[in-house]
Structure 1
Amino acid sequence: MPDSASVSTVVLLSAASGLLLAAILYPSSLLRWFQRKRYQYEVTFSLYMLTSTEKFIFNSILFLLLSLLIIAASLYLPEHIYIMANRMFYYFSGDEETLHHANEHANKAAQHVLTTSSQIINDAASSLLSRDSSIST
C-alpha cells in the first residue's frame, strides 16, 4: 500500500496536469475565469484598498497558512483516520485476546448449561419411568 505522501503527490500532480491541459486547450476562457476569480477575491477581502506591499504581505501570510494546512492534512489525516477506525473497531469488538477469552468463557458456560440440563432431563425421565413402573405393577 502506498504511503500518504506519494498518494497526495499523485493527486496534486494530476490536478496540475489537468489545469495545464485546460490552459493549453482553452487559453482565453481560462484566463477570463482566473481574472474573474482574482477580482472576486480582492473584492471579498477588500484587498483593492491596500497598497501593493500590504497586498503582498497579506497574500504571503494567507498562502503560507493554507500551504501548511494542506500539507498537514495530506500527510497526517489518512494516518489519523486509520488510527481512529482501529480504535472504533476495538471499542465495538475488543481486541483478539479479549474475544478469545470471551469465546472460551461462553463455551464453558454453554457446556455447563448443556450438562446441567441433560442431567435434569435424565433425572426427570428416570423418576417418571420409575413412577410409571410402580403404577403398572
Structure 2
Amino acid sequence: MLDSASASTVVLLAAASTLLVAAMLYPTSLLRWLQRKRYQYEVTFSLYMLTSTEKFILNSILFLLLSLFIIAASLYLPEHIAFMANRMFYYFSGDSSHFTTQAAPKADFATAAVTQMLSSGDALRGPAAGHEL
C-alpha cells in the first residue's frame, strides 16, 4: 500500500501528464485558454502597470510561495487528515484499541525507548513518580 507522500506524488504526476496530453492533442485551444488566464491574472492583480523587472520579481516570489505551499500540503496534509480522523474516532468511541496513528519511524523509536525505560524502572523521577501511565 502506498504511503501518503507516494500517493500525492502519483496524483501530481498524473495531473501533469494529463495537462501534457491535452497540450499535445489541442494545442491552439490550450494556448488560447492559457493566454486568457494570464490576461485575467494581470488585470486582477494590476500587474499590467508594472515594468517587466517588477513583474518578474513579483511572479518569482509568488511562484516560490505557491511551490512551497504545494510541497507542504502534499507531504503533510494526508498524514494530518488521517491523524485528525483517528483522533475524532477516539473522541467519539472512547476505545483506545482502535486509536492508531501513522507516525514517522523516529517517533516509533522514541515510543519504544520510552516504553522500555518505563518497563525497566529507570524512568525519570518527578512529581508523578509512583503514578502509572
Q: TM-score, normalised by structure 1?
A: 0.67
Counterpart of 1:103? none
Alignment of 1:1-137 (within 5 A): 1-96=1-96
Percent identity, aligned pairs only, is 86
After the TM superposition, which segments of 4 or more aligned residues of structure 1 sit over 3 Å from their partners? none
Q: Output the CA distance in 1 between the equivalents of 2:57 and 2:88.
A: 44
State the Cα deviation string for residues 9-63 of structure 1 (Å, max 9, x = none).
Answer: 1111111111111111111111111111100000001111101111011001111
Q: Output the CA distance in 2 between the equivalents of 1:72 and 1:61.
A: 17
State the Cα deviation string for residues 73-116 of structure 1 (Å, max 9, x = none).
Answer: 1111111111111111111122347xxxxxxxxxxxxxxxxxxx
Listed as ranges, the gaps of 5+ residues in structure 1 are 98-137
**Paired positions, count:** 97
Listed as ranges, the gaps of 5+ residues in structure 2 are 98-133
From the two aligned structures, give the one with the greater helix fraction. Answer: 1
Mark the structure with the bigger radius of gyration. Answer: 1
Q: Which has the higher contact order (CA 8 A, sep 6+)?
A: 1
Superposition RMSD on alpha carbons, in Å? 1.2
